[in-house]
Amino acid sequence: MKPEDLAKSGTEHGHQMALFQWAQQNLDQYPELVWLYAIPNGGQRNIITAAGLKAEGVKSGVSDICLPVARSTFHGLYIEMKKPGGKESPQQIEFGKFLTAQGYLYKCCDHWNLARDTIISYMNGTTA
């Protein structure tokens, strides 16, 4: 399945799946993408599951995606994934500012293509 097919739903979930599909298909060009991972902090859950995840350390506002690869002056890349037109919450903005102060690149992307382009720029060392 093509990444754009996964994103057709228009949901954040679909766009994030599309991004990871693209990453899997581009490991030859960017081998470090093998370390790209999702952080399951969002989503609808029943109260028992939510309580268990909170006890395990899940935190509101933490970004959806991390690429723990240093490039240029950055320690790594975090991406907050949104559906098209989606906006960051105040907690996500605060977390992004914290990451930036710690030497990470933080981006909010409301389409898998934007997240893909962010990763490509980052991996090529052209992100400012």
pLDDT digits over 57-74, tens only?
888 899 999 999 999 999
Q: The tokens 């994103």 sit on which residue?
A: 7
Q: Would you say 82 and 107 are in contact if contact means Cβ atoms under 8 Å apart? A: no
pTM: 0.91
- HSE at residue 14, side-chain half, CA atoms within 13 A, is 13
CATH class of 3-123: alpha beta
Q: Write down the pLDDT at residue 1.
A: 79
Structure confidence at residue 44 as a pLDDT band (50, 70, 90): low
Query: Which one has a higher pLDDT value, 82 or 52?
Result: 82
Residue 58, classed as helix, strand or coil, is: coil
In the sheet where 37-38 sits, what is the strand order? 37-38, 65-67, 77-81, 105-109
Q: Would you say 79 and 92 are in contact if contact means Cβ atoms under 8 Å apart? A: no
Domain boundaries, the chain: 3-123
